[in-house]
Amino acid sequence: MTGQNGAIELRMTKKLRDAFEPQRLEVINESHLHAGHQESFDGTGETHFRIRIVSSRFAGMPRIARHRAINELLGEELREGVHALAIEPAAPDEKVRW
Amino acid sequence: MTAINEFIDNEVKNADVVLFMKGTPAFPQCGFSGQVVQILDYLGVEYKGINVLADDDLRHGIKEYSNWPTIPQLYVKGEFVGGCDIIREMFQAEELQGHLADKGIAFKGAA
């Protein structure tokens, strides 16, 4: 929703592409939705993201394992200031809402 | 085991359903925590909400305990079930209800 893609957004997108070779991928900055919920969030930063990803790597992988794989890949970003990561992972044959 | 680890371990083993969250069930202070509260309340599950904002050690400790970087975190019978996305997906697929039933947890609409 930002006019320009932020540095963290671009870095996460590249990592996800390289690691999962996704058929579909959306990295959405939702920081503006959380403005004010903590004093340091003014909504213009890169604090809250939603990741939607379809990859054959997720086939046969339980939900927790999918989330862990993404959380581990993006551990650096999570430690460095990404405060919330909503994750919607799917294998290619699964129904998605997007 | 560190003191905080011991505290968490004790909490998740002493109640059947435990939710580590931001805020309290009556007053969630984060939308993601609020969603899980709504699901548990809708299902009429009895659970213990623990506010991680009340204690910085707890807020960091819970992430290490489960090797899960975000909050909320739901535990059933001492076992980590998931965060907000997973709980919502499981609820919508009725897998959460199945999981609760398997673990012998009472909820509304249970067979």
Give pLDDT tens digits for B8-44.
999 999 999 999 999 999 999 999 999 999 999 999 9
Burial class from Cβ neighbours inside 10 Å (0-12, 13-18, 19+) for residue A20 reads buried
Cβ–Cβ < 8 Å for A65, A51: no
> Which residues contact residue B90 at a Cβ distance below 8 angstroms, ignoring those fewer than 6 apart?
A63, B81, B82, B96, B99
Residue B3: predicted pLDDT: 94
Dist. CA B80–CA A17, nearest whole Å: 28
A86 contacts on B by Cβ (under 8 Å): 32, 84-85
Quickly state the pLDDT bin for B111 (edges 50, 70, 90): low
> Which residues contact residue A58 at a Cβ distance below 8 angstroms, ignoring those fewer than 6 apart?
A20, A66, A89, A90, A91
A64 at interface of B, judged by CB pairs closer than 8 A: yes
Q: Which domains does chain B have, with CATH numbers?
A: 3-102 (3.40.30.10)
Residue contact A63–B69, C-beta within 8 A? no
Give pLDDT tens digits for A6-65.
999 999 999 999 999 999 999 999 998 877 766 667 777 899 999 999 999 999 999 999
In this predicted complex, what is the ipTM? 0.86
Residue A39: predicted pLDDT: 65
In eight-state DSSP terms, residue A57 is: G
